[in-house]
Amino acid sequence: MKLLISCREATFYISKQEEGVLSPGERIELWIHLLICKFCRLFRLQTQIISTQAREPFSEIRLTEEEKKKLEDLMRNKT
């Protein structure tokens, strides 16, 4: 297990996480990376939203006000 992973590795782990196949070591590596990388946190949030919409394309799922604010803050480069 590495202490720090690259953004490329983090995005791969985020994709694996959506499929539910992350090992405990990968989960820890990703968690550490997400603590320091706001861009990967934004990528993870976007991936989660897309995955939810893909699973339920005709549902009336909408972002909560808190989720909207979180996305807006991340896009404005706030941590």
Name the pTM for this structure.
0.69
Distance CA 10, CA 28 (A): 11
The predicted pLDDT at position 72 comes to 85
What does the pLDDT average to over 6-20?
A: 93
Tell me what the pLDDT averaged over the chain comes to.
Answer: 86
Phi, psi of 37 (to 5 degrees): -120, 105
Q: How far is CA 2 from CA 8, 13, 22, 37, 54, in A?
A: 14, 13, 15, 16, 32
What does the pLDDT average to over 34-50?
A: 93
Query: Residue 70: which pLDDT band, with cuts at 50, 70 and 90?
Result: confident
Residue 49 scores a pLDDT above 60: yes
Residue 75 scores a pLDDT above 60: yes
